[in-house]
């Protein structure tokens, strides 16, 4: 009798679960939106969860299946709307930003540092903090940063010369990471990171911990993106709690040391944050945790985005020696004409800008942009109403590799950006830094750091393929941001 009752109950549970899931997965069909048929358990996340595809390529695979302006996916049972139309993307990111003013990553309130980063902070607190730190990237501040950035680039060159004197090939991503770490430590925190002198330097170690491609980090990122209830229920941190505590200790020490020596104004990020703290003592949005979060945000975003892009620039130049030579000639001509590298003349190097833009097209650091709809929104000229709480994705890899906008997208062609002003004229399809009010706040600082690093490398070295340089590139499916699975080794030969 017990066996029969148990069997009946199990069958009933199965039927009810099936009916529940079937109803959930009819969401896009009920709204006449084309969608990818989901797995009854994982939705459309199988290839992502099984580490068969990187996040960017997972979304691009689905992007290629539809000729519509948008399509639907499911993260487990949660609907996601993926936008393909550049015009609709422009509406969501800029014109109708007030409907989509927050990102979707869920961070535990117990994760005090990560929940206070600008990247994860919710509006209106996000807007208040961003408006106060924006002055760090004014034209005047960038001009002041030029000299210390150049000094760090020259320091990188000296260390690369030592390295290549005893090695046939070097891992270029690690070189770029050490350079960008030194720059952000110096310019934002007035600290000498000394990553070239000490491979286990404090700033380099926390950088490794933040962007380590180990499975645990991928799962934490995955939970923040797709399992908000799990994050809240079990207080899952975006990074390991030990890493979070290390970050707290490092940056608290930096703040404390600066507070004791306020006689000198460094006019860096820490100085700006301390002034904010002084002026807004009673505002919880500018409390100690918020300032720590802002500091960590600038460090994490500042070093990794520059390092990744710079490494891929050098990788593409290594593969295409004719492009490398053309760019080196432009740089050398500019430096000779101006008797050195000068801040005011950086924008004269048009081909350098084209090379950087094309690299950012092929290798957007983030795989997609994400927004959360905060109130019902009717997409213009359609019948679709995006409901409150719906997640919206802008698929950067899909757009950047779409032949409609970039013919022969797998090929590295800097000349695509010869007439840069014509890009994104009729909607948004090239978005390496995002767009609208929540775009990357440090874009100009990042580009200046990136270009100075490239300039110094090309003035001093020739880049050549080694036996281990990966062609074609193998993407790391475990990495949170775009990365090579096998690194980026290459020969670096000193020039006279």
Three-state DSSP at 436 gives: coil
Q: Is residue 1 part of a domain?
A: no
Distance of CA 137 to the CA centre of its chain: 18
Below-70 pLDDT ranges, the chain: 1-2, 213, 262-266
Say what the pLDDT of residue 467 is.
Answer: 94
Q: Which residue has the tokens 């210390």?
A: 148
Structural domain boundaries, residue 68:
31-494
Is residue 150 within 8 A of residue 191, CB to CB? The reply is: no
Residues contacting 185, CB < 8 A, separation 6+? 191, 192, 193, 203, 299
Q: Is residue 5 part of a domain?
A: no
Q: Is residue 343 part of a domain?
A: yes
Omega before 472 within 30 of 0, i.e. cis: yes
Say what the pLDDT of residue 267 is.
Answer: 72
d(CA 154, CA 194): 13
Q: Is residue 241 part of a domain?
A: yes
Say what the pLDDT of residue 266 is.
Answer: 60
d(CA 263, CA 173): 39
Say what the pLDDT of residue 308 is.
Answer: 96
The CATH number that applies at residue 233 is 1.10.630.10
CA atoms 339, 340, 343, 346: torsion sign: positive
- Write the pLDDT tens digit of every residue in 156-165: 999 999 999 8
d(CA 62, CA 97): 25
Say what the pLDDT of residue 2 is.
Answer: 61
The model carries a pTM of 0.93
Q: Is residue 414 part of a domain?
A: yes
Strands 78-83, 170-171: parallel, antiparallel or unpaired by DSSP?
unpaired
Is residue 97 within 8 A of residue 437, CB to CB? The reply is: yes
Residue 440 annotated as part of some ligand binding site = yes
Q: Is residue 10 part of a domain?
A: no
Say what the pLDDT of residue 120 is.
Answer: 86
Distance of CA 132 to the CA centre of its chain: 22
Say what the pLDDT of residue 264 is.
Answer: 54
- Write the pLDDT tens digit of every residue in 86-137: 999 999 999 999 999 999 888 887 888 888 888 888 888 889 888 888 888 8
Indicate the number of domains in the chain: 1
Q: How many CB atoms lie within 10 A of CB 374?
A: 16
Residues contacting 445, CB < 8 A, separation 6+? 136, 137, 142, 145, 187, 302
- Cβ burial 320-336 (10 Å sphere, 16+ → b, else e): beebbeebbebbeebbe
């Amino acid at each position: 009798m017990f066996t029969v009752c148990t069997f009946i109950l199990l069958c009933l549970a199965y039927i009810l679960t099936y009916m529940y899931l079937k109803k959930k997965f009819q969401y896009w069909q009920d709204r006449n939106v084309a969608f990818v048929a989901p797995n009854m358990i994982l939705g459309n996340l199988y290839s992502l969860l099984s580490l068969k595809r990187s996040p960017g390529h997972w979304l691009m695979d689905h992007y290629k299946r539809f000729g519509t302006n948008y399509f639907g996916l499911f993260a487990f049972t949660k609907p996601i709307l993926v936008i393909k139309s550049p015009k609709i993307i422009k509406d969501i990111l800029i014109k109708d930003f007030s409907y989509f003013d927050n990102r979707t990553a869920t961070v535990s309130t117990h994760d005090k540092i990560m929940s206070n980063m600008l990247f994860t902070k919710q509006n209106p607190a996000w807007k208040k903090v961003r408006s106060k730190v924006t002055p760090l990237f004014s034209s005047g501040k960038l001009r002041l940063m030029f000299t210390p950035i150049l000094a760090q680039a020259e320091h990188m060159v000296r260390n690369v010369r030592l390295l290549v004197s005893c090695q046939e090939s070097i891992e270029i991503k690690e070189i770029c990471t050490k350079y960008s770490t030194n720059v952000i430590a110096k310019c934002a925190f007035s600290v000498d990171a000394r990553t070239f002198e000490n491979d286990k330097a404090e700033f380099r170690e926390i950088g490794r911990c933040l962007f380590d491609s180990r499975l645990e980090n991928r799962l934490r990122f995955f939970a923040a993106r797709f399992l908000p209830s799990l994050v809240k229920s079990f207080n899952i941190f975006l990074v390991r709690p030990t890493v979070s505590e290390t970050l707290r200790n490092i940056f608290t020490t930096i703040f404390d040391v600066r507070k004791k020596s306020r006689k000198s104004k460094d006019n860096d990020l820490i100085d700006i944050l301390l002034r904010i703290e002084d002026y807004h003592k009673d505002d919880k949005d500018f409390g100690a945790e918020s300032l720590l979060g802002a500091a960590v945000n600038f460090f994490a975003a500042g070093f990794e985005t520059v390092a990744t892009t710079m490494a891929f620039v050098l990788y593409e130049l290594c593969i295409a020696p004719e492009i490398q030579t053309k760019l080196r000639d432009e740089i050398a001509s500019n430096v000779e004409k101006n008797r050195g590298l000068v801040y005011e003349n950086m924008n004269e190097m048009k081909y350098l800008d084209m090379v950087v833009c094309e690299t950012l097209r092929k290798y957007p650091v983030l795989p997609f942009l994400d927004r959360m709809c905060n109130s019902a929104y009717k997409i213009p000229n359609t019948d679709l109403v995006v409901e409150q709480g719906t997640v919206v994705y802008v698929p950067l890899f899909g757009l950047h590799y779409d032949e409609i906008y970039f013919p022969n997208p797998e090929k590295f062609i800097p000349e695509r950006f010869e007439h840069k002003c014509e890009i994104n004229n009729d909607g948004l399809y090239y978005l390496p830094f995002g767009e609208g009010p929540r775009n990357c706040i440090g874009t100009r600082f990042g580009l200046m750091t990136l270009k100075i690093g490239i300039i110094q490398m090309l003035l001093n070295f020739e880049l050549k393929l080694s036996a281990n340089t990966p062609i074609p590139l193998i993407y790391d499916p475990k990495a949170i941001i775009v990365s090579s699975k096998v690194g980026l080794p290459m020969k670096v030969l000193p020039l006279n």
